[in-house]
């Protein structure tokens, strides 16, 4: 991993000596991405800055790289995994360094813009063709490595991170509020999101994945050359399920071997799921250090225990990194993390992963690369069962996709709404609503393309930043383009058998992983059984120190124009009484937007100079079965519930039954039956809910009215508070403003 940046004149002129200061500022801002070496180059119209983290050939891989004839100059952030194979196909070419990226120079000189067609790796590069007076900016097929740029009529500036561009006084520093608030990943609206991702800032562009941007240094003219795109399904394929799984296994073996190639030590983030376990099992050497997040969610849903068990079965050292319910970052820590991430989507997952990287780097500084199981869910169907709904199957998943597509199409063409359904009977075909879409006949292709975009907007974006923040390179074996192409080409008739709940991965790992790992259900960092702890963590984060983060987010002129200060304060006040996952995450994203807006006006220190944080610690576990109660108490401590605050069912909650089912009660939320309660099996819980139905009572009074002991309902009561079924009632009217 490296940090690359630079500036070029695109009006036919050369850079002046003043550009040297700008190049130094770029390199200084990106110091965290490459602490091992720093090089600056200014020649004619082009200036380049390079910060190196050396994983391959540490002593002989400095950049910029220059072709043998001196006509082409190159800086690259990333790895070319098949560089030896590519070099072998260049007879008569002698490379001058051990850098895996140098092979790109003779490839370009031979193949022109087709030079990336056979390259396998993760990379972002800037190439200067002196003879043709061209500047090329390009990225790998999935955008694993970032490259941003801003251009005007006279010049272009480019960098691995947006914050480096802001070191240039001529680059605008304006948050793109309108686009940010409409971004699907930002507002948690399910939908087929396609097209280019947002950079969150006005006039800051991101080189698209699988694309080379060509800029003329003579007149600024630009072109885009797409060298890769997602393939279409192969309807004619006669490949069997077994053959697909075998091919997937072979490609994953190759990809893991590629990603594990380094001249320094590597580590692995190990969860309890099959993805990171597969990488661990296939990684060569057998001495990989593994790191598992010990959060309330991963402890309560069994994921952390599963990670430890996987390490035991594979004979790998495992470090359980304690990130308990009491670990709430300070406002300064959170601002630094948002600035490092450069995205309002910073949340619990990004915080937990950064803590893992901090622990690994501080305790094992020889580890410079981290293997991840990331992206397997998005590409191989890990989230499909969720889209099918509880108890749903593949047919339900496809029906829900069609419904989602239809609703989005009707939003774009509302005049068709009346005609599509009349008296419960559809009168128009789905394709008629939005004939321009390529996915009307196959919504799954739209889903796959949506997941591909999400990878760039969220997954690889934050995996890069959290690793780079600790001078570590993230490596993602599941984002080998050969693997993704294989899955994308699966014909429609084979999808249910291969991509429901990642079946292709599970089948591929037969005989490679122990069965208890291969068949283990997916776990989560912070959802599931630990959701209430995550809710409380985020609420405490926002409420601490007089709601410092929220108030700072509201401090800029633009924030006050777009955000309702009274509404956000009231929302936080409600959350402190009854945290809710969806509501608190949405509020946090708005706070993050406001923080980013403020930080662009007054730039924080570079990440390498960020304020110190508490040192992460490891919880040593010798026997999980015997120590489980102590582990839960240490990681997922429950706060004391107030005995003086009144509680009641939320305003949108009804407790109902039917004469025909006298022993069954239902909890309706917003008019929809969400929970079923058996009067025989859950008598204590039903009695407490009945006591709180219509009356606001303190907990002792409610328990006395119901005639139950708290121990009998404690877990359910805490869960009801977490999801908002029961709310703490304000002692007086809610505050409207401060």
Q: What is the pLDDT of residues 258-284, one digit of tens each?
A: 999 888 899 999 999 999 999 999 998
Which residues are CB-contacts of 714 (< 8 A; sequence separation ≥ 6)? none
Cα-only R_g, the chain:
27
| Greatest CA separation for the chain | 89
CA distance 67 to 47: 17
Is pLDDT of 733 > 60? no
Q: Kindly report the three-state secondary structure assignment for every residue of 152-213.
A: CCCEEEEECCHHHHCCCCCCCCCECHHHHHHCHHHHCCCCCCCCCCCCCECCCEECCCCEEE
Residue 735 pLDDT: 43
Mean pLDDT of 715-729: 82
CA distance 581 to 576: 12
Provide CATH 3.60.20.10 ranges for the chain: 2-174+190-226
- Residue written as tokens 């990130």? 323
- The side-by-side arrangement of strands in the sheet containing 653-658 is 653-658, 661-669, 672-678
For the entire predicted model, the pTM comes to: 0.90
Residue 425 pLDDT: 75
State both tokens at 670: 């917003």
CA distance 699 to 707: 12
Is pLDDT of 669 > 80? yes
Is pLDDT of 525 > 80? no
Q: Helix, strand or coil for residue 44?
A: coil
State both tokens at 493: 């008739």
CATH classification for the domain delimited by 241-380+445-480+502-525, as one of 3.30.360.10, 3.40.47.10, 3.40.50.620, 2.70.98.60: 3.40.50.620
Identify whether the C-beta of residue 498 lies closer than 8 Å to the C-beta of residue 243.
no
Identify whether the C-beta of residue 471 lies closer than 8 Å to the C-beta of residue 368.
yes
Which residues are CB-contacts of 381 (< 8 A; sequence separation ≥ 6)? 498, 499, 500, 501, 502, 503, 504
CA distance 317 to 487: 32
Average pLDDT, the chain: 92
Greater confidence, 53 or 478? 478
Say which of 1, 2, 283, 699 is annotated catalytic: 2
Identify whether the C-beta of residue 483 lies closer than 8 Å to the C-beta of residue 251.
yes
Give the number of C-alpha atoms closer than 13 A to the C-alpha of residue 220, restricted to the C-beta side: 12
Residue 731 pLDDT: 59
Provide CATH 3.40.50.620 ranges for the chain: 241-380+445-480+502-525
- Residue written as tokens 């009695």? 687
Tell me the sheet residues that pair with 654.
668
Q: What is the pLDDT of residues 560-615, one digit of tens each?
A: 999 999 999 999 988 887 766 668 999 999 999 999 999 999 999 999 999 999 99
CA distance 268 to 283: 10
Q: What is the pLDDT of residues 657-667, one digit of tens each?
A: 988 888 899 99
- The DSSP call for residue 381 is T
State which H helix or E strand residue 539 sits in: helix 531-553
Identify whether the C-beta of residue 577 lies closer than 8 Å to the C-beta of residue 730.
yes
CA distance 116 to 616: 41
Mean pLDDT of 67-84: 96
Q: What is the pLDDT of residues 126-166, one digit of tens each?
A: 999 999 999 999 999 999 999 999 999 999 999 999 999 99
State both tokens at 376: 């397997």
Burial (Cβ within 10 Å: 0-12, 13-18, ≥19) of residue 415:
exposed
Mean pLDDT of 73-98: 93
Q: What is the pLDDT of residues 302-333, one digit of tens each?
A: 999 999 999 999 999 999 999 998 899 999 99
Q: Helix, strand or coil for residue 30?
A: coil
Sign of CA dihedral 23, 26, 28, 31: negative
Q: Helix, strand or coil for residue 294?
A: strand
Q: Where are the beta strands (DSSP E) in 336-467?
A: 367-371, 421-422, 425-426
- Specify whether 2 is catalytic: yes
CA distance 370 to 717: 40
Provide CATH 3.90.930.70 ranges for the chain: 646-728
CA distance 676 to 180: 39
Tell me the sheet residues that pair with 657.
665
Q: What is the pLDDT of residues 357-412, one digit of tens each?
A: 999 999 999 999 999 999 999 999 999 999 999 899 999 999 999 888 888 888 88
CA distance 158 to 22: 12
State both tokens at 435: 């004939």
**What's the CATH code, domain 646-728?**
3.90.930.70
Kindly give the pairing relationship between strand 653-658 and strand 661-669. Answer: antiparallel
State both tokens at 703: 């328990």
CATH classification for the domain delimited by 2-174+190-226, as one of 3.20.20.70, 3.40.50.720, 3.60.20.10, 3.10.580.10: 3.60.20.10
CA distance to 345, 458, 469, 525, 629, per residue, from 350 (Å): 9, 10, 12, 10, 27
> Which of 2-6, 296-300, 636-640, 690-694: highest mean pLDDT?
2-6
Residue 736 pLDDT: 40
Per-residue exposure over 6-31, b if at least 16 CB sit within 10 Å of its own CB, e if not: bbbbbeeeebeeebeebbebbbbbbb
């Amino acid at each position: 991993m490296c940090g690359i940046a630079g500036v070029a004149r695109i009006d036919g002129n050369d850079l002046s000596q003043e550009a040297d200061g700008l190049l130094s500022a770029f390199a200084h801002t990106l110091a965290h991405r490459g602490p091992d070496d720093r090089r600056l180059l200014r020649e004619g119209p082009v200036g380049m800055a390079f910060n190196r983290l050396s994983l391959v050939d540490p002593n002989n891989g400095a950049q910029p790289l220059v072709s043998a004839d001196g006509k082409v100059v190159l800086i690259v952030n990333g790895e070319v995994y098949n560089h030896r194979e590519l070099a072998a196909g260049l007879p008569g070419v002698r490379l001058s360094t051990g850098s895996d990226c140098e092979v790109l120079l003779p490839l370009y000189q031979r193949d022109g813009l087709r030079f990336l067609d056979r390259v396998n790796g993760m990379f972002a590069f800037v190439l200067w063709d002196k003879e043709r007076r061209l500047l090329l900016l390009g990225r790998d097929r999935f955008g694993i490595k970032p490259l941003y740029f801003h251009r005007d009529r006279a010049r272009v500036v480019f960098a691995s991170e947006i914050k480096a561009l802001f070191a240039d006084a001529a680059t605008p520093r304006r948050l793109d509020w309108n686009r940010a608030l409409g971004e699907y990943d930002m507002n948690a609206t399910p939908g087929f999101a396609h097209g280019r991702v947002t950079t969150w800032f006005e006039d800051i562009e991101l080189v698209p994945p699988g694309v080379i941007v060509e800029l003329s240094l003579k007149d600024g003219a630009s072109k885009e050359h797409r060298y890769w795109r997602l393939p279409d399904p192969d309807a004619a394929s006669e490949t069997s399920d077994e053959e697909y799984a075998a091919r997937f296994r072979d490609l994953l073996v190759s990809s893991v071997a590629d990603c594990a190639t380094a001249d320094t030590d590597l580590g692995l983030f190990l969860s309890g799921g099959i993805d990171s376990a597969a990488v661990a099992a296939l990684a060569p050497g057998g001495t990989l250090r593994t790191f598992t997040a010990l959060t309330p969610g991963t402890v309560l849903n069994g994921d952390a225990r599963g990670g430890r068990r996987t390490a035991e079965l594979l004979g790998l050292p495992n470090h359980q990194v304690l990130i308990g319910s009491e670990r709430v970052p300070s406002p300064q820590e959170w601002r630094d993390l948002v600035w490092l991430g450069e995205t309002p989507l910073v949340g619990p997952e990004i915080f937990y992963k950064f803590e893992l990287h901090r622990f690994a780097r501080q305790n094992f500084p020889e580890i410079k690369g981290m293997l991840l199981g990331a992206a397997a869910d998005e590409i191989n169907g890990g989230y499909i069962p969720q889209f099918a709904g509880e108890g749903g199957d593949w047919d339900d998943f496809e029906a829900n996709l069609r419904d989602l597509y239809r609703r989005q199409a009707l939003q774009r063409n509302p005049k068709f709404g009346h005609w599509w359904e009349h008296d419960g009977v559809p009168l128009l075909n789905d394709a008629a609503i939005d004939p321009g879409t390529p996915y009307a006949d196959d919504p799954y292709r739209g889903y796959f393309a949506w997941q591909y975009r999400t990878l760039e907007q969220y997954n690889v974006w934050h995996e890069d930043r959290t690793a780079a923040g600790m001078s570590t390179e993230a490596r993602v074996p599941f984002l080998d383009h050969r693997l993704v192409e294989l899955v994308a080409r699966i014909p429609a008739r084979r999808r249910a058998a291969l991509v429901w709940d990642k079946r292709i991965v599970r089948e591929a790992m037969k005989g490679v992983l122990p069965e208890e790992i291969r068949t283990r259900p997916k776990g989560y960092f912070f959802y599931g059984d630990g959701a209430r702890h995550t809710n409380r963590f985020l609420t405490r984060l926002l409420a601490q120190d007089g709601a410092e983060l929220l108030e700072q987010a509201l401090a800029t002129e633009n924030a006050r124009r777009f955000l309702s200060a009274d509404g956000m304060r009231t929302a936080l006040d409600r959350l402190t009484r009854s945290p809710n996952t969806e509501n608190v995450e949405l509020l946090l994203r708005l706070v993050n937007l406001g923080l980013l807006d403020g930080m662009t006006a007054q730039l924080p220190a570079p990440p390498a100079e960020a304020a110190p944080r508490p040192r992460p610690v490891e919880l040593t576990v010798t026997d999980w079965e015997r120590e489980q109660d102590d582990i839960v108490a240490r990681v997922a401590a429950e706060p004391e519930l107030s005995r003086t605050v009144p509680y009641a069912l939320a305003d949108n909650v009804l407790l109902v039954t039917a004469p025909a089912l006298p022993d069954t009660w239902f909890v309706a939320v917003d008019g929809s039956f969400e929970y079923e309660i058996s009067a025989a099996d859950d008598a204590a819980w039903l009695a407490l809910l009945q006591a709180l139905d219509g009356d606001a009572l303190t907990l002792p009074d409610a328990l006395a009215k119901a005639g139950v002991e708290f121990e009998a309902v404690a877990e359910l009561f805490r869960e009801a508070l977490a999801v908002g079924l029961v709310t703490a009632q304000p002692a007086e009217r809610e505050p409207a403003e401060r």
